[in-house]
Structure 1
Amino acid sequence: MTDFDAYLTYDARLIILRELHKQTDGRLNEVLLTKALDAFGHNRSREWVRTQLRKLVELGAVKVTEIGTVMVAAITRSGVDHVERRAIIEGVARPSPEA
């Protein structure tokens, strides 16, 4: 993976965490996360998004439940701490300070 590929991947993971953090219950399915990533210029397949969700599980940032053939991600306390800049998760882009 090139440095730029890693940058894009880490940025996409941050977008996933931010989108989950925005939700009242902290959850979204892979289809909605794919659309959110597309809105931010990350035009990726559902399988790629599923791979990123699995990586975020490994990093402790999300929990995933499979309902039928769809993955539903829920942000964890560690993921919230990263989005709110209280902690750093390696492998996820660091959020910029809110203005």
Structure 2
Amino acid sequence: MGFKELVKEDQRLVILRSLQEMPGYEANESIIDCCLDAYGHKISRDAVRVHLSWLEEMALISLRELSGCKIATLTGRGEDVSTGQAVVPGVKRPRAQ
């Protein structure tokens, strides 16, 4: 696996873990972008949307749109992946605590 793929997997895990910490397990794409930035992933808003779409396809989040802004909500399966209880290829597995 190449470096780019490792970075993508980590970005997806950061998104899931960030949603896990949010009230109602949801956040808009702007907040998610800020969370990624805080963890050293300075990426475009378009790249954030691509990750959100991919995570929705994997049933790890659900998406809705409000005034042109995507809002992501963590699913039960997404929570399992973010805690390491389930594994999905394409999402970094969290380290043991």
- Structure 1-normalised TM-score? 0.94
Which runs of 5 or more structure 1 residues have no equivalent in the other structure?
none
1:6-60 superposed Cα distances (whole Å, 9 cap, x missing partner): 1100000000000000113000000010011011111101110000000000111
Q: Which runs of 4+ in 1 moved over 2 A?
A: none
User: What is the CA RMSD across the aligned residues, in angstroms?
Assistant: 1.0
Partner of 2:39 in structure 1? 40
Which segments of 5 or more consecutive residues in structure 2 lack a partner in the other structure? Answer: none
Aligned to 2:68: 69
In the alignment, the residues of structure 2 paired with residue 22 and residue 35 of structure 1 have an alpha-carbon distance, to the nearest angstrom, of: 14
TM-score by length of 2: 0.96
The separation in 1 between residues aligned to 2:79 and 2:53, in whole angstroms, is 17
- Residue identity over aligned pairs, in percent, reads 33
Count of residues paired in the alignment: 97
> Which has the larger share of helix?
2
Partner Cα distance (2:46, 2:38) in 1: 17
